[in-house]
C-alpha cells in the first residue's frame, strides 16, 4: 500500500527524544524554549509560543485578540473543522466565506460582503500549504478595524512574496500533526511580533500561572506562583520539542523534496484536460503539504470512482478538504449558507500521496494508476 502521507522521522529524532527523557524534563522545559527561539528565527517573527496543538493555538489566539461571546469571525468553511471550532470555543459565531475556485483559499471579495458591526476578526487559512493573499486581508482588516489571524496549520515553510508564513501577522498558528510537513507527534506553535500577545499566550497556555515550573526550579529563592486569570493546560512537552528541533533543521530539505514530487505530478498530469492541477501564482511558494486534483464535470470517471480505482491499485488517497457548514455540528449555524465553490471543490477533489522519502517506484505507480483511470 502506498500511503497518503508519512512523517519523516529518523534516528536523530529518536535520539533527541531519548536524551530529553534522561534529563528529567519530560514536560515543558528547556527544549521548548530552544524550539520556540529556533522557530521564531526561521519564520522571521519576534516570538513563538509552543502549545499542544494548532487547535489550542487557534483557541488562545481568539482569546488574546479579544474575540468574545456574541462576536462574529469570518473564516472559510472549507477547512478542517478545528478552524471553525476555535471560534465557538470563545462563544463567538463563525461566519463562513466561500473560497476562490483556483487557489482554494478564502475569497476576499466574498469576505467583504460578510462584514457586519458584529465582526471582530477574520481567520484565513493557507490551504494545503498554498499561501492566501495576506496583503489583501491586511488591507481589509485595517479598513474595518478587524483582527487578522492566520491558520497556517499546513503552511510551515511556505512563503508569500519572498517571506515565510509566520512573519506577516500578529497571530499565526501552526500544526505539527503527523500529516503536516514536520511533526512532533502532536503539537502547535503561535508566532507573533506583538509583545503583549506573546506574554499573554505564555500565561494562558499554563493555567494562567505567573511563574512557570522551570523558573521556580532554577531559582535560588522560594517562589510561590499566582494564577492571574483563567488559563489552560496547553503545554508542549520537552520530548516533543526535542523532536521538533531536529525536524526544523531539515525542513527546507523536506520542502524541496516535496516540491520535486509535486513537479513530477504536474508534468505527468498536465495533458489531462478533465482535471485541474494546483495553482501556484507568482509570489506564492507552497510547501505542498497536500497535492489536490480537481475532477471537472464531464470527466470519464467520478471522484469517488477514481479513489476506488486508486485503492484497488494499492494507492491510498483522500477526498477534498471537508466543509464544516455541512457537518452535523454546524447545521444550526448554517441554515442559509450558500457556498457553491467550497462544496464543489470539496466534492470533486482528490488528494494524492505525497511524502518524504517517496521512492521513484512509488511515484511512478501513483502516476501510472492515476493516468490509467482516465483512459
Q: What angle separates helix 360-373 from helix 303-312, to the nearest 10 degrees?
A: 140
Residue 99: what are its φ and ψ, rounded to 5°? -115, 165
Task: List the catalytic residue out of 180, 246, 260, 309.
Answer: 180
> For 251-275, b where at least 16 C-beta lie within 10 A, e where not — what string?
beebbebbbebbebbeebbeebeeb
Output the CA–CA distances (angstroms, integers) from residue 258 to 113, 129, 309, in the order listed: 37, 11, 24
Four-point Cα dihedral 173, 75, 292, 53, nearest 10? 30
The verdict on whether 195 is a catalytic residue reads no
DSSP summary character for residue 129: G
What is the full DSSP assignment across 52-91? S-HHHHHHHHHHHTT--TT-EEEEESBS-THHHHHHHHTT
Give the Cα separation of 108 and 105 in Å (integer): 9
Output the CA–CA distances (angstroms, integers) from residue 254 to 9, 180, 214, in the order listed: 11, 11, 33
Q: By CB neighbour count within 10 A (0-12 exposed, 13-18 middle, 19+ buried), where does 141 fall?
A: buried
Give the Cα separation of 269 and 293 in Å (integer): 10
Output the CA–CA distances (angstroms, integers) from residue 91 to 59, 69, 82, 208, 295, in the order listed: 11, 4, 14, 20, 38
To which H or E segment does residue 159 belong? strand 159-160
Give the Cα separation of 227 and 210 in Å (integer): 6
- Which residues are the active-site residues? 180
Amino acid at each position: 500500500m502506498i500511503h497518503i502521507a508519512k512523517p519523516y522521522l529518523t534516528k536523530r529524532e529518536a535520539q533527541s527524544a531519548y536524551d530529553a527523557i534522561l534529563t528529567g524534563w519530560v514536560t515543558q522545559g528547556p527544549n521548548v524554549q530552544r524550539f520556540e527561539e529556533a522557530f521564531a528565527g526561521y519564520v522571521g517573527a519576534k516570538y513563538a509560543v509552543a502549545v499542544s496543538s494548532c487547535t489550542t493555538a487557534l483557541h488562545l489566539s481568539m482569546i488574546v485578540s479579544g474575540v468574545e461571546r456574541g462576536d462574529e469571525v469570518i473564516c472559510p468553511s472549507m477547512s478542517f473543522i478545528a478552524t471553525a471550532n476555535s471560534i465557538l470555543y470563545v462563544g463567538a459565531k463563525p461566519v463562513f466565506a466561500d473560497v476562490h475556485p483556483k487557489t482554494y483559499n478564502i475569497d476576499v471579495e466574498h469576505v467583504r460582503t460578510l462584514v457586519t458591526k458584529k465582526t471582530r476578526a477574520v481567520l484565513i487559512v493557507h490551504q494545503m500549504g498554498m499561501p492566501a493573499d495576506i496583503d489583501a486581508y491586511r488591507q481589509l482588516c485595517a479598513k474595518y478595524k478587524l483582527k487578522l489571524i492566520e491558520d497556517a496549520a499546513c503552511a510551515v515553510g511556505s512563503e508569500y512574496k519572498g517571506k515565510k508564513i509566520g512573519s506577516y501577522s500578529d497571530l499565526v498558528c501552526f500544526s505539527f500533526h503527523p500529516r503536516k510537513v514536520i511533526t512532533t507527534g502532536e503539537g502547535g506553535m503561535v508566532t507573533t511580533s506583538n509583545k503583549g500577545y506573546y506574554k499573554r499566550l505564555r500565561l494562558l497556555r499554563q493555567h494562567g500561572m505567573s511563574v512557570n515550573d522551570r523558573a521556580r526550579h532554577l531559582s535560588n529563592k522560594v517562589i510561590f506562583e499566582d494564577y492571574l486569570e483563567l488559563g489552560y493546560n496547553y503545554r508542549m512537552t520537552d520530548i516533543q520539542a526535542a523532536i521538533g528541533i531536529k525536524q526544523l533543521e531539515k525542513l527546507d530539505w523536506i520542502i524541496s523534496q516535496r516540491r520535486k514530487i509535486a513537479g513530477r505530478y504536474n508534468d505527468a498530469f498536465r495533458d489531462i484536460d478533465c482535471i485541474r492541477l494546483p495553482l501556484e501564482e507568482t509570489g506564492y511558494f507552497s510547501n505542498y503539504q497536500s497535492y489536490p486534483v480537481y475532477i471537472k464535470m464531464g470527466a470519464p470517471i467520478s471522484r469517488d470512482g477514481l479513489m476506488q480505482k486508486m485503492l484497488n491499485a494499492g494507492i491510498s488517497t483522500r477526498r477534498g478538504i471537508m466543509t464544516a457548514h455541512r457537518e452535523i455540528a454546524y447545521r444550526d449555524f448554517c441554515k442559509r449558507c450558500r457556498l457553491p465553490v467550497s462544496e464543489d471543490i470539496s466534492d470533486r477533489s482528490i488528494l494524492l500521496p505525497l511524502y518524504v522519502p517517496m521512492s521513484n517506484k512509488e511515484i511512478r505507480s501513483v502516476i501510472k494508476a492515476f493516468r490509467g483511470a482516465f483512459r
